[in-house]
Amino acid sequence: MRRATSSDLELLVSLVERLDNDLPRLPYLDHPAEVERAKVEKMIEAGVALIADDDVGAPVGYLLARYGERGPATIYISDLWVEPQARGRGVGIGLLRMAAADAAARGCTHVVLEVHSRNREALAFYQRLGFEEEAKIMRVDVGGLAEPAEPQSPDIGAVHVQTDDSDAVARVVRQYLPRIDRNASAAVDRGTAWTVVRVEADDRAVVRRLARELSFRFGVSLVLTLEEGAVVHYVLHDQGRMVDEYLSVPEYYGPLPPGDALALRANPTVVARLTGADPDLIRRVARTAASPRELPEPRELFEEIAAALRVTP
């Protein structure tokens, strides 16, 4: 990993284009090529511009950052990208640590960045490193404010932990939940094969993080929810690692690259191995569609999937 120089300008501009192609398109963020080029040039000169090369000198990742963007004691990471084939080898972490060391030397106290809410891989990566959400960026078409939005139905569901030791689960919940959300609360119910944790929180990410922590402690955890009264969503963890995710309408929350949409279909083989469910039943019940109208009534689908997974909805 090395600091970029002015001779790397064209290379960095090409890497920025690759990152832009990987991310969901946001029309209001499109900038002319000359603006992007000037931004990169400025960060080489006055910010932080890092490049990661492989053993033969080919670039496999880069980072761009600037100081003072979110306060005088911050370094703001505007770009972090790693070649897909090089992911999982510590390249992204190495770039972040190098930028953080630079920031610490300048007296900065915090590293700040933004992640698209649908970029689940990046969200999981940053959360593993200890990043916490502090704000949400929200948008609406200018014409969308002409009529008041209809109120959303609240999410229903729970975290299911594959253990009958509900007392141990309750202890972990009491210890861990206040660390991620002081205002959240949870009730733990004893089961036979599964212990059920019902979480009251304003942010779905709180439930996901709690489920991951419980999986670290107890092996298998399952978040199963009916969201906004419209879509069924589950996330299955094994030993703290997310191994399967299902959303009944993969693009309900916005357009996705084809590969990401496919990844939100149930994997009956994995589900069967970890839950004991019938894989053919999972295949029949956990269906996906382009809209909720093409599926059974959402509450009915939610209960069918819960029964197939052998948990109480």
Report d(CA 290, CA 30) in Å as an integer.
27
pLDDT at residue 25 above 70?
no
Which residue, among 87, 94, 82, 125, has the nearest Cα to 1 in the 3D structure? Answer: 94
Structural domain spans, the chain: 2-128, 156-309
> Is 302 buried (19+), middle (13-18) or exposed (0-12) by CB count in 10 A?
buried
β-bridge mates for residue 235, sequence order: 223, 245
Please give the pLDDT value at position 36: 83
Tokens 């960045």: give the residue: 113
DSSP 98-117: HHHHHHHHTT--EEEE---T
pLDDT in tens, 50-87: 999 999 999 999 999 999 888 889 999 999 999 988 98
Q: Do you know the residue count of the chain?
A: 313
Residue of 29, 38, 82, 28 whose CA lies nearest to 59: 82
User: At the topology level of CATH, where does 2-128 sit?
Assistant: Aminopeptidase (3.40.630)
User: What is the tens place of the pLDDT at every residue in 205-260?
Assistant: 999 999 999 999 999 999 999 999 999 999 999 999 999 999 999 999 888 888 88
